[in-house]
C-alpha cells in the first residue's frame, strides 16, 4: 500500500524531518560527507545551500512501464547532484544549482497538483542533496490528501544511515547502479567508493520495500527496480555491476538495462563516451544478465531515437 498520512505517527514524521534537517549543518547527507554548514550558506560538492532547488515538475511518460503507466509518473526534477557523472544525460540541471528555490508549501502543492493531473506517483529525481526539504513537503502533502506512491529515483550513491530514515516513507526505490568497479567510478564521477555504497544502499532499500515490485493494474505501488545505463566501450563495467548484484544482493530483483545513452556536450569529443551504444554492446550486457539468472529485466531497443531531455525547453521531453 502507498504510505498514507497515518502510516507513521506525526511525531515520528517530525522527528525524521528534524534529524535530516540537522544533517545539513555538518552535511553528511551523502557519502561525500562534505561537512559544510549548508544552513549558513556554505556549499559542498553539490553547490547547494539550505534551500530546495527544483528544475521541473511534470508528468513523465519515459520511465519503465510500471512507473509511468498510461498517465505518467509525477516527476520532480531537482537541480544539482552529489555525483555529477561526466556523461550525465541531465547535465543541464545536474552540473549546477540553477532552478527555482522552492519552499516546502510550494513543493507540497506541486506534489498534490501531480496527483490531481492523474499521475500514478510522485517521483523525486536526484533527491539526495534536497532530502530534508522533500520529506517535509511530502509530510505536508500526505496530510492534505496525497495518497499515491512516493518514488525515490537516485544515482545509487547514498548514505545507508540516511536511507534508514526513509523507512515507511518511500514506496518505490528506483536507484541507479552505475559503476561496478572503482576505476570507472573514480574517473567518471570522482567517487571510487561508489560500488560499495551502491551495494549497501540498495541492501537497505530492499530491507524497507522488499526485493521485488508489487504491481496492480499494470502500475507499481511498492518495491524496487535497479537501473543500469550501458555506456559505450564499457561493457566490462556493466558486467561488473551485474556480478555485484548477483553476489551481494539478489538476481530476483527487477533490473532495468538501459540502452538510451546519448553523448552530451561535455563528452562530445570523448574517445569512448562520444558515441552511442551499439546493439552488440547492449546485447552482451543483456545476455550476461540472463546467464547470471536475473529473473525480471526491463530492456530497450537500440536505435537512434533522441531520448536525452533538453531542460532549456518548458517540456524537456517535448
Is residue 276 assigned to a domain? yes
> Which pLDDT value is given to residue 6?
47
Our count of domains for the chain comes to 1
- Which letter, b or e, does each residue of 117-148 get, where b requires 16 or more Cβ atoms within 10 Å of its Cβ? eebbbbbbbbbbbbbbbbbbbbbbbbeeebeb
**CATH number of domain containing 122:** 3.20.20.70
Residue 259 to residue 54: CA distance in whole angstroms: 27
Is residue 38 assigned to a domain? yes
Chain Cα centroid distance, residue 98: 19
> Which pLDDT value is given to residue 308?
86
Is residue 171 assigned to a domain? yes
Residue 264 to residue 56: CA distance in whole angstroms: 20
Residue 91 to residue 87: CA distance in whole angstroms: 8
Residue 282 to residue 257: CA distance in whole angstroms: 8
Is residue 308 assigned to a domain? no
> Which pLDDT value is given to residue 2?
43
Is residue 303 assigned to a domain? no
pLDDT in tens, 131-169: 999 999 999 999 999 999 999 999 999 999 999 999 999
Residue 295 to residue 290: CA distance in whole angstroms: 8
Residue 136 to residue 167: CA distance in whole angstroms: 15
Is residue 311 assigned to a domain? no
> Which pLDDT value is given to residue 256?
98
Is residue 306 assigned to a domain? no
Is residue 3 assigned to a domain? no
Residues of the chain with pLDDT under 50: 1-6
18 is in which domain, residue-wise? 10-298
Amino acid at each position: 500500500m502507498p504510505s498514507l498520512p497515518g502510516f507513521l505517527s506525526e511525531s515520528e514524521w517530525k522527528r525524521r524531518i528534524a534529524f535530516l534537517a540537522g544533517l545539513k549543518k555538518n552535511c553528511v547527507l551523502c557519502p561525500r560527507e562534505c561537512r559544510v554548514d549548508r544552513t549558513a550558506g556554505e556549499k559542498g560538492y553539490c553547490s547547494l545551500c539550505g534551500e530546495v532547488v527544483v528544475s521541473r515538475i511534470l508528468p513523465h511518460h519515459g520511465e519503465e512501464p510500471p512507473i509511468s503507466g498510461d498517465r505518467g509518473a509525477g516527476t520532480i526534477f531537482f537541480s544539482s547532484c552529489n555525483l555529477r557523472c561526466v556523461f550525465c544525460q541531465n547535465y543541464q540541471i545536474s552540473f549546477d544549482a540553477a532552478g527555482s528555490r522552492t519552499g516546502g508549501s510550494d513543493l507540497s502543492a506541486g506534489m498534490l497538483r501531480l496527483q490531481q493531473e492523474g499521475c500514478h506517483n510522485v517521483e523525486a529525481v536526484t533527491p539526495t542533496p534536497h532530502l530534508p526539504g522533500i520529506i517535509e513537503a511530502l509530510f505536508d502533502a500526505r496530510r492534505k490528501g496525497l495518497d499515491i506512491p512516493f518514488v525515490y529515483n537516485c544515482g545509487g550513491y547514498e548514505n545507508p544511515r540516511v536511507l534508514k530514515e526513509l523507512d515507511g516513507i518511500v514506496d518505490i526505490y528506483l536507484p541507479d547502479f552505475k559503476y561496478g568497479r572503482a576505476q570507472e567510478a573514480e574517473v567518471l564521477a570522482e567517487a571510487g567508493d561508489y560500488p560499495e555504497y551502491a551495494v549497501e544502499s540498495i541492501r537497505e532499500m530492499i530491507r524497507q520495500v522488499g526485493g521485488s515490485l508489487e504491481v496492480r493494474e499494470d502500475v507499481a505501488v511498492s518495491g524496487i527496480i535497479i537501473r543500469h545505463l550501458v555506456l559505450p566501450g564499457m561493457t566490462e563495467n556493466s558486467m561488473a555491476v551485474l556480478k555485484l548484484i548477483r553476489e551481494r544482493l539478489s538476481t530476483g530483483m527487477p533490473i532495468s538495462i538501459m540502452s538510451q545513452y546519448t553523448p552530451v556536450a561535455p563528452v562530445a569529443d570523448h574517445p569512448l563516451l562520444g558515441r552511442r551504444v551499439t546493439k552488440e554492446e547492449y546485447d552482451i550486457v543483456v545476455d550476461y544478465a540472463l546467464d547470471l539468472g536475473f529473473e525480471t529485466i526491463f530492456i530497450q531497443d537500440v536505435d537512434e531515437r533522441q531520448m536525452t531531455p533538453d531542460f532549456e525547453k518548458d517540456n524537456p521531453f517535448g
